[in-house]
């Protein structure tokens, strides 16, 4: 379970290759052709330079075991790249990453958090995960959650 040996930190370039490996491995475990989204190749440009955030979860060996990004658009937060290492799911890592992003959105005085779910056949687990955290469907591929500061 999530514990003292694991922590969530702001992404730094030191973890770039390990993050990429973890995401590709997670996609492979979902039987997807492992490809990289452009934002993962330049987190500074897609997140930090815009005042947004990207976090990683690291284990006791300083290895990346999870990630999440959050962009702010007007009064909304948009979540991206919530991944957990495939053999470490259901240990609370995803929930802690989500809570971190939600707290950031609240701090930035957002009223709503939005996300895109991805293909239904591939990312079916995410649909249950987000529903369990209070997110509701906007349409078949998007969910959102109203937050209050």
pLDDT (tens digit per residue) in 88-119: 888 899 999 999 999 999 999 999 999 998 76
Confidence (pLDDT) at 86 = 87
Decide if 66 is inside a domain: yes
Residue 133 covered by a domain = no
- Domain CATH number, residue 11: 3.40.630.30
Q: Is residue 130 included in any domain, yes or no?
A: no
Cα separation of 72 and 69, whole Å? 10
- How many domains in the chain? 1
- Do the domain assignments include residue 99? yes
How many whole angstroms separate alpha carbon 65 and alpha carbon 51?
24
Tokens for 104, please give them: 């950031």
Can you give the pLDDT at residue 119?
64
Give phi and psi for 81, each to the nearest 5: 55, 40
CA–CA gap between residue 135 and residue 146 (Å, rounded): 8
**Alpha helices in the chain, H assignment, sequence order:** 16-29, 43-46, 93-107, 124-131
**What domain range includes position 36?**
7-110
């Amino acid at each position: 379970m999530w514990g003292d040996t694991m922590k969530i930190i702001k992404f730094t370039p030191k973890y770039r290759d390990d993050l990429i490996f973890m995401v590709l491995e997670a996609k492979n475990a979902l039987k997807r052709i492992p490809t990289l989204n452009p934002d993962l190749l330049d987190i500074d440009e897609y997140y930090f330079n815009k005042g947004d955030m990207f976090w990683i979860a690291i284990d006791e060996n300083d290895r990346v075991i999870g990630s999440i990004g959050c962009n702010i658009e007007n009064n909304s937060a948009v979540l991206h790249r919530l991944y957990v290492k495939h053999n470490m799911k259901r240990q609370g890592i995803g929930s802690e990453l989500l809570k971190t992003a939600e707290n950031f959105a609240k701090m930035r005085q957002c009223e709503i958090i939005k996300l895109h779910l991805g293909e239904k056949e591939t990312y079916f687990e995410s649909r249950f995960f987000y529903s369990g955290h209070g997110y509701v469907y906007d349409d078949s591929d998007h969910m959102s959650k109203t937050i209050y500061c």
